[in-house]
């Protein structure tokens, strides 16, 4: 039996009551958003004939998702993080702002407070011996495309098992392993030594994986390195690079891959390069310059602090 009750006046009135629109107290913006979201949900239940069994399965899944702390994990998996980036890009385009270094999603695994150094840092503690040594470097540029000394480069990535420090289910990694803050030197240069990370996969058996499986999808990401880059007078840039050659570069469950964010990985095995980097064997080198954009009317019109607070 198919029924439609959404358009009934008493149901429309009920949605207003549920959203507090008949009350003076509360937050008007919250009321507006909840009224719209609840209306869309009621309508979906009506249109798709969502059964009580299906509905309560969804409620149980939300409880599991929250208990596992995975709201921030299914969010990129369902494309919301990327959609928000596309909106920021469209807002920039409408204002005539070009982003020479594209933004892409932050993801849920940043941790504030990583050790800080100037010019250079080693990110890994040497305990992940399966990883190929990586040297990555570049110049941070200001909105006039001039080198930007003092710019802050926050970088984080996972190990060869796909685990991030602070979120390592084996508990094996030291705090802030593969997480550093590098202040660009007097020439605007940043440089770090680490290992090439592996890809990431959502936790097996998790609520996030359950939903993705039901959609016929996987929960894997290509190998990547995350960045926040900030400097006075400029908007904070949130981005990532992918490790060239990873077979999942165009099959990322989090949809973070973008043109301009897959720099060349150059294999170095000549003595001169090895010596110049104080290494004792071959390594992979990535050069990646970064271009920041100006504040808009003196403010960063695209920064979000909430997610950072959540993760810290």
Residues that bind Fe ion (CB under 5 A): 107
Burial environment of residue 144 by CB neighbours within 10 A (0 to 12, 13 to 18, 19 or more): exposed
The residue number whose beta carbon is nearest to ligand MBD equals: 107
* Residue 231, binding choice from Fe ion, ligand MBD, none, Cβ under 5 to 8 Å by partner class: none
Q: Which residues pair with 133 in a beta bridge?
A: 195
CB nearer to ligand MBD: pick between 107 and 263? 107
Interface residues toward ligand MBD, by CB under 6 A: 73, 76, 105, 107-109, 200, 221, 254, 256
Rounded least distance, CB 122 to ligand MBD, Å: 21
Q: Judged by CB, which is closer to Fe ion: 107, or 207?
A: 107
CB 99 within 8 A of CB 92: yes
Residue 271 Cα distances to 192, 268, 281, angstroms:
19, 9, 8
With CB under 5 to 8 Å by kind, the binding choice for 153 among ligand MBD, Fe ion, none is none
Task: Provide the Cα torsion 278, 172, 110, 219; round to 10°.
Answer: 110
Q: How far is the CB of 106 from ligand MBD (least distance, A)?
A: 7
Give whichever of 79 and 147 is closer to ligand MBD, judged by the CB atom: 79
Our CB check for Fe ion shows the closer of 76 and 188 to be 76
- Residue (46 or 251) nearer to ligand MBD, CB: 251
What residue 139 binds from ligand MBD, Fe ion, none (CB within 5 to 8 A, per partner kind)? none
165, two tokens? 């420090």
Element (H, E) at 34: helix 28-47
Cβ 8 to ligand MBD shortest distance, Å: 41
Q: State how far the alpha carbon of 88 is from the alpha carbons of 14, 25, 57, 301, 302, in Å.
A: 34, 32, 34, 9, 7
Q: At a CB cut-off of 8 Å and minimum separation 6, what does 145 contact?
A: 100, 291
């Amino acid at each position: 039996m198919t029924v439609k009750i959404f358009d009934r006046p008493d149901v429309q009135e009920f949605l207003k009551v549920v959203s507090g629109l008949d009350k003076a107290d509360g937050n008007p913006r919250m009321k507006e958003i909840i009224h719209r979201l609840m209306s869309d949900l009621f309508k979906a239940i009506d249109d798709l004939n969502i059964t009580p069994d299906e509905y309560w399965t969804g409620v149980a899944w939300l409880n599991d998702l929250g208990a596992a702390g995975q709201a921030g994990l299914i969010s990129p998996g369902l494309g919301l993080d990327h959609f928000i980036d596309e909106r920021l890009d469209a807002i920039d385009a409408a204002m005539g702002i070009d982003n020479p270094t594209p933004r892409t999603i932050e993801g849920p695994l940043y941790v504030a407070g990583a050790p800080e150094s100037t010019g250079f840092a080693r990110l890994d503690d040497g305990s992940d011996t399966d990883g190929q040594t990586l040297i990555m470097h570049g110049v941070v540029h200001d909105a006039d495309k001039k080198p930007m000394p003092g710019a802050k480069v926050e970088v984080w990535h996972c190990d060869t098992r796909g685990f991030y420090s602070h979120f390592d289910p084996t508990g094996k990694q030291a705090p802030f392993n593969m997480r550093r803050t590098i202040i660009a030197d007097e020439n605007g240069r940043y440089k770090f030594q680490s290992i090439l990370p592996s890809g990431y996969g959502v936790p097996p058996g998790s609520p996030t994986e359950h939903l993705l499986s039901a959609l016929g999808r996987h929960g894997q990401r290509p190998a990547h390195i995350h960045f926040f880059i900030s400097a006075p007078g400029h908007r904070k840039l949130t981005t990532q690079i992918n490790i060239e050659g990873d077979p999942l570069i165009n099959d990322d469950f989090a949809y973070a891959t973008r043109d301009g964010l897959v720099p060349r990985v150059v294999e170095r095995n000549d003595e001169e390069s090895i010596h110049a980097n104080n290494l004792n064997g071959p390594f992979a080198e990535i050069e990646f310059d970064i271009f920041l954009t100006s504040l808009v009317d003196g403010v960063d019109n695209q920064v979000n602090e909430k997610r950072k607070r959540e993760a810290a």
